[in-house]
Amino acid sequence: MSVQAVDFRTGPAPLSKEARRAEIEALFQLPFLDLLARAHEVHQKHFDPNSIQLSTLLNIKTGGCQEDCKYCAQSSAYDTGVKAEKLLDREEIRTAAQQAKDAGAGRFCMGTAWRDLKDRDVERLAEIIGDVKSLGLESCMTLGMLSPDQAARLKDAGLDYYNHNLDTSPEFYPQIITTRTYQDRLDTLSAVRSAGIKVCSGGIIGLGESRTDRAGLLQSLADLEPQPESVPINKLVPIDGTPLGDVPEIDVFELVRTIAVARILMPRTVIRLSAGRRSLSDEGQAMCFFAGANSIFYGEKLLTTGNPDHEKDQVLFAQLGLKPETVVREMHCGDE
């Protein structure tokens, strides 16, 4: 029998990527209730499990995107009925941010259907960030690929978070997007991190990927150093006209498992139950919160599709005893 040599100065050799992937898949394979119990224990240790962070999303530039993301309503490659529009006016965005704040949101997230940020737009976006910050909201933008200089300028303007998703595993990715690479996405995340902006990065489940791909997505996210402050887990919202418009819906237990594994792998990260809540029952959402989700998109619209309205979410919070918080803070336990 061969015995792995251990260097006693450095401890056992770190696991290979393949071995780590196998460990993550083994978490997915735990009996459902055991997995939930483990995830909830981690959640309780790091967060108040009854607190939930609320982010409101506004599409500030709709449609006409040159990328070919197979799930997306805004790609010009597919006929989805979404028309291309101009960047919204500063005043319109400020009004929407004020309304989000009045409704109880703590963060205002702005998205553009762009492949990448153009230098000519940077100063307008900097003004918009200033407006959102002046209302006392956290700011987040998702504008496609960013250069290090652009990220530094957005940081100067006061941007708190940048959202840029890895979407799926590196292996499955080329089946979903061909117009930019996984490495392009990692490069943008690295520019964001170097600029000192907090990283929001997650993915989508229900694209037709395997469980190994879901494990691979979480592995890629958990391997970022440091790990993202925010991880949105989106359940595919099927869009007519896209190549994924009629893929079979993912099982709710698989969504809950994905959130639970994310919570175990990224104990200090705020995990957002993102797109797809309209297709979940209240009980399904409650399981996601128990498994470790502690943030949602709050407000009746995502980018081009619907989301539960404020009133419906407020009823659910009351039923579950969840306290909406503008900022959910990780508790320092000092033992890891």
Residue 233 is a binding residue for ligand SF4 (CB under 6 A): no
CA atoms of 85 and 81, how far apart (whole Å): 12
The Cα–Cα gap between 282 and 73 comes to: 26
**Rule CB under 6 A: is residue 176 a binding residue for ligand SF4?**
no
Cα 76 to Cα 86: distance, rounded to the nearest angstrom: 15
Q: How many residues of this chain interact with ligand SF4, rule: CB under 6 A? A: 9
The alpha helices in 82-210, defined as continuous H runs, are 90-103, 122-134, 148-157, 182-195
Which residues does residue 230 pair with via DSSP β-bridges, in sequence order? 200, 270
- Binds ligand SF4 by CB under 6 A, chosen from 24, 36, 39, 65: 65
Angle subtended at Cα 173 by Cα 168 and Cα 175, rounded to the nearest 5 degrees = 125
Q: Does 114 bind ligand SAM (CB under 6 A)?
A: yes
CB of 321 to ligand DTB, least distance (A): 26
> Within 13 A of 89's CA, how many CA atoms are on the CB side?
3
- Residue 288 designated active-site: no
Quick one: angle between helices 252-265 and 211-222, nearest 10? 30
Among 54, 231, 233, 237, binds ligand SAM (CB under 6 A): 237
Q: Is 111 in the site for ligand SAM (CB under 6 A)?
A: yes
Q: Is 74 in the site for ligand SF4 (CB under 6 A)?
A: yes
Q: Taking CA 271 as the corner, what is the angle to CA 38 and CA 242, rounded to the nearest 5 degrees?
A: 120
What is the smallest separation between the CB atom of 58 and ligand SF4, expressed in angstroms?
14
Residue 304 contact among ligand SAM, ligand DTB, ligand SF4, none, beta carbon within 5 to 8 Å by kind: ligand DTB
Indicate which residue of 185, 200, 257, 263 is catalytic. Answer: 200
Q: Helix, strand, or coil here: 52?
A: strand
Alpha helices per DSSP H over 66-111: 90-103
The residue among 238 and 284 lying less far from ligand DTB, judged by its C-beta, is: 238
Task: Determine, following the binding rule CB under 6 A, whether residue 146 of this chain makes contact with ligand SF4.
Answer: no
Q: Is 272 a residue of the active site?
A: yes
Q: Which stretch binds ligand SAM (CB under 6 A): 4-12, 161-169, 216-224, 284-292?
A: 161-169
Note whether 297 binds ligand SAM by CB under 6 A.
no
Nearer to ligand SAM, 46 or 274 (CB): 274
Enter the DSSP assignment of 279.
G
**What token pair was written down for 328?**
């959910």
**72 an active-site residue?**
yes
Among positive and negative, which fits the CA dihedral 294, 286, 39, 30?
A: negative
Which residues are catalytic, by number? 65, 69, 72, 109, 140, 200, 272
Given the rule CB under 6 A, which residues bind ligand SAM? 65, 71-72, 111, 113-114, 142, 144, 164-165, 167, 203-204, 234, 236-237, 239, 275, 303
